[in-house]
Amino acid sequence: MEFSKIKLPEELHNQLKDYVYPIIGIMQYVHNDLGPGLPEYVYQEALKIKFQNKGIDTIKEYQHHPTFDGIELNSSVKMDLLLSMSRGNVIIECKSIKELTERERYQLSGYLRSTEFPIGILVNFGTWPKAQIERYYYKKGIITPF
């Protein structure tokens, strides 16, 4: 699985950046307050509190049952956070590691493909001085960084 190297149209790119801007700000706020190196679940809880304080519907450890051949599986995947927002749900996958790798990107891409939610954000709280944040847009089977 590869991410698309095709650039999004400028207008869509700017709309997506504007859409996630408050989310990114909250992530950086949490990182600045707690610092790097804590377990992921600590950052998940802090993010959930901050998102809810800002009026963003948030589900921690959202469970999704993928489908196979049109049948919903009993097995499920657990996503760190799901934000229910006006233009589409946003998946947030939290990490607290030295550096993001293809493994973490593939995990998020699997969530996007399975749910068909339009936006996924990968955040790594293990870096300093800022959290490492990657944003992805999903549409019709194509995942594009933005």
User: pLDDT tens digits for 1-48?
Assistant: 568 888 999 999 999 999 999 999 999 999 999 999 999 999 999 999
DSSP letter, residue 117: -
DSSP letter, residue 100: -
87, burial (CB in 10 Å: exposed 0-12, middle 13-18, buried 19+) = exposed
Tell me the C-alpha distance between 105 and 40, whole Å.
16
139 phi-psi bin (left φ>0, alpha ψ -120 to 50, beta other): beta
In contact, 96 and 39? CB cutoff 8 Å: yes
pLDDT digits (tens, 9 = 90+) for 37-81: 999 999 999 999 999 999 999 999 999 999 999 999 999 999 999
Q: Which residues contact 92 (CB under 8 A, 6 or more apart)?
A: 23, 47, 79, 80, 81, 82, 83, 120, 121, 123
Domain boundaries, the chain: 10-63+90-145
Mean of the pLDDT values across residues 111-127?
A: 97
Token pair belonging to 12: 């869509």
Query: Model's pTM, two decimal places?
Result: 0.94
In contact, 79 and 89? CB cutoff 8 Å: no
Tell me the C-alpha distance between 80 and 41, whole Å.
8
